Amino acid sequence: MTPGGIQRALALWCPDWSLLATRTEHGLDPDVALALMDKGRVVARSAAADVEGVTVGLRLREAQARCPGITLLPHDPLRDARAFEPVVRAVDEVIPGIDVRRPGLVAVHVAGAARYYGGEEVAARALADQVRGVAGLVDVRIGIADGIHAAELAAQTTTAAAPLRVVPAGASRAFLAAMPLDVLADLPGAGPELVTLLKRLGLTTLGDFAALPGSSVRARFGVPGMQAHDLARGREVAPVRAAAAPSDLTRHVVFEPGLERIDQVAFGCRTMAEEFIATLTTRQLVCSQVLVSVFTDDDTTTGRAHSDQVWTHPRHFSSTEVVDRIRWQLQGAASTALAAPTTRQGAVIRVEIAPLALDDAAAHAGGLWRDGPADRIHHTATRLQGRLGHDGVLTAAIGGGRLLAERTQLRPWGEAAPSATIRKADQPWPGSLPGLAPTLVYDEPVPVRLLDEVRSIVRIGSRGDLSGAPVWLDPGALDPTGGGPRRVTAWAGPWPIRQRWWDPSETRRVDRVQLVDDHDQAWLLLYEQLGTDDEEPWSAEGRYD
């Protein structure tokens, strides 16, 4: 404790943490010119990009112009925070009670550690040794001073060659006074505007600013200015809030040797899933979204997950439901491997589950007396899903679109319903079907033949003209009795549907015809000519059963 009532603080700073986290995740070389972009501007750049003249705040085009070979990636604060967690845990092992100021910067009270290690510098060196190497970290800077702000500034004045700076007790004010005003620019609340203003008033260092009377600063700059003034005078604005390090809720199971059968893997994952849910329960948490990663033995060299999938739950997962999701994911991977035989399906060697969405368990507690009807429906539907597979039980919605199969939107039970805006159901769809809708819709149009009087295929020209009036309909596979062509008694069309004519790869020209045959059966047919001599241009879209 120093005379001002400010505790000694240690700040551990990892320079360019966002860049390091991005490099680790994307497997980039440290020498690569890399810049992170946010809202079209550079927010961080690597040393190689700096040499080429890429600066923070530069626009995307300008950065590319200055350094043509630059790698531009979006800045992701969540990735930074995620990658920083191992570092936080490493710090917590040496000095407990940490305060993560932002990804890349941790503050701790140093008094206890200094007593234990016999000096602040010794404690700092022990900390640096512990942290270095965690998550690919090489450059660790530590500053110790009175108060977190001074410690942070002390850490930022260090160099890679001399990564430790200790400002002696009571000397922080003098240390701060010599700093240029620009250090206030990063402060929340103050910002660059305040710095520019102060400079125009003729102030150059924090000492000049601190010398101004507090009442005048408050009158001129308000609360943010007052906070900056307090910091410049060496007072503590936001003290270290000691907290426990976040624990790792991710669980994994390793199979040695690898397992090939899905039920074996599912059985092997059961204990892990139970422990995963039990850990959450002891922390009064429930999980409604998990990430399941399955690693197989054919990709151990790359170290990448063989299959990653996010599973959502309308309530929260129980351990059996987690195992179900793992099984479904393996089944899905097995079916795609069958479809594409070139990708070999290896034995599963590792399964990992990570919670993505956590919630307070109290908000999900069951009723005191009984479950309501909603719970009964949910439990039964989920149980049925466990037997029939994830897409065994579906719920449906009508979406936007012109073709009937497009308008039908089915999704597995428990997955969030897309909103009406995303479904585009409320928008006008020129070309959608008027009048009665068919009771049977074929997912994949079934080929049929529509013939004119002389039994040749009716064709539709580019201007929507029919080559002849439809007289005969051969339902082909759709006629269970195989009765051959039926006479058309009434028909209408063709109604053109022109989709995405502006995109050559996705454009689609379809014409629709409605007709009734002499069996009193009504049909909805689609005409789509894919080649000049397409022998089967007609298909059934739906049937009025």
Partner 1 sequence: MFERLFEHGGVTAALDLAPEPGASPVPDLAALRARIRRLEGAESPGDVIGFGVPEALRSAFPTGLRAGATYAATGSLTLALMLLAEACSQGAWSAVVGLPGLGLEVATRMGLDLDRTLFVPAPGDQWATAVAALAEIVPVVLARPVRLVPTEASRLTARLRERGCTLLLTEQPPSTWPAMQATLHASPAGWRGLGDGHGCLLQRRLAIQVSQRTGRTTRHHLEVS
For CA atoms 327, 332, 338, 341, the dihedral sign is negative
User: Binder to partner 1 among 57, 257, 341, 367 (CB under 8 A)?
Assistant: 367
Closest among 144, 147, 146 to 165, alpha carbons compared = 144
Which one of 251-259, 331-339, 370-378, 478-486 is the stretch in contact with partner 1 (CB under 8 A)? 370-378
Query: Which burial class, exposed, middle or buried, applies to 142 when counting CB atoms under 10 A from its CB (0-12, 13-18, 19+)?
Result: buried
Residue closer to partner 1 (CB basis): 271 or 281: 281
Chain-centre distance for alpha carbon 146: 40
User: Binder to partner 1 among 398, 477, 484, 487 (CB under 8 A)?
Assistant: 398
Q: How far is the CB of 408 from partner 1 (least distance, A)?
A: 5
Using the rule CB under 8 A, is 443 a contact of partner 1? yes
User: Binder to partner 1 among 309, 441, 447, 529 (CB under 8 A)?
Assistant: 441
Round to the nearest angstrom and report the end-to-end CA distance of the chain.
Answer: 86
Q: How far is the CB of 503 from partner 1 (least distance, A)?
A: 27
Q: How far is the CB of 101 from partner 1 (least distance, A)?
A: 33
Using the rule CB under 8 A, is 422 a contact of partner 1? no
Using the rule CB under 8 A, is 356 a contact of partner 1? no
Burial 277-297 (b: 16+ CB within 10 A, else e): beebeeeebbbbbbebbbbbb
Using the rule CB under 8 A, is 363 a contact of partner 1? yes
Q: What angle do CA 327, 417, 351 make, to 5 degrees?
A: 20
- State how far the Cα of 95 lies from the Cα of 132, in Å rounded to an integer: 15
Using the rule CB under 8 A, is 368 a contact of partner 1? yes
Q: What angle do CA 266, 270, 276 make, to 5 degrees?
A: 125
Using the rule CB under 8 A, is 28 a contact of partner 1? no
Using the rule CB under 8 A, is 465 a contact of partner 1? no
| Binding footprint of partner 1, residue count (CB under 8 A) | 62
Residue closer to partner 1 (CB basis): 216 or 489: 489
Q: How far is the CB of 432 from partner 1 (least distance, A)?
A: 9
Q: What angle do CA 88, 92, 94 make, to 5 degrees?
A: 125
Q: How far is the CB of 202 from partner 1 (least distance, A)?
A: 57
Using the rule CB under 8 A, is 392 a contact of partner 1? yes
Closest among 392, 388, 395 to 415, alpha carbons compared = 395
**468-497 residues near partner 1, rule: CB under 8 A:** 469, 490-493
- Report in angstroms the alpha-carbon separations of 98 from 10, 58, 261, 263, 448: 10, 35, 45, 44, 72
**507-536 residues near partner 1, rule: CB under 8 A:** 514-516, 520-522
- State how far the Cα of 500 lies from the Cα of 511, in Å rounded to an integer: 15
Q: How far is the CB of 437 from partner 1 (least distance, A)?
A: 4
Residue closer to partner 1 (CB basis): 118 or 430: 430
Residue closer to partner 1 (CB basis): 369 or 502: 369
Using the rule CB under 8 A, is 357 a contact of partner 1? no
- State how far the Cα of 389 lies from the Cα of 268, in Å rounded to an integer: 19
Neighbours of 115 (CB within 10 A): 11
- State how far the Cα of 294 lies from the Cα of 279, in Å rounded to an integer: 21
Q: Which residues bind partner 1 (CB under 8 A)?
A: 314-315, 362-369, 372-374, 376-378, 380-381, 383-384, 387-388, 392-398, 404, 407-408, 410, 413-414, 416-417, 433-443, 469, 490-493, 514-516, 520-522, 542, 544-545
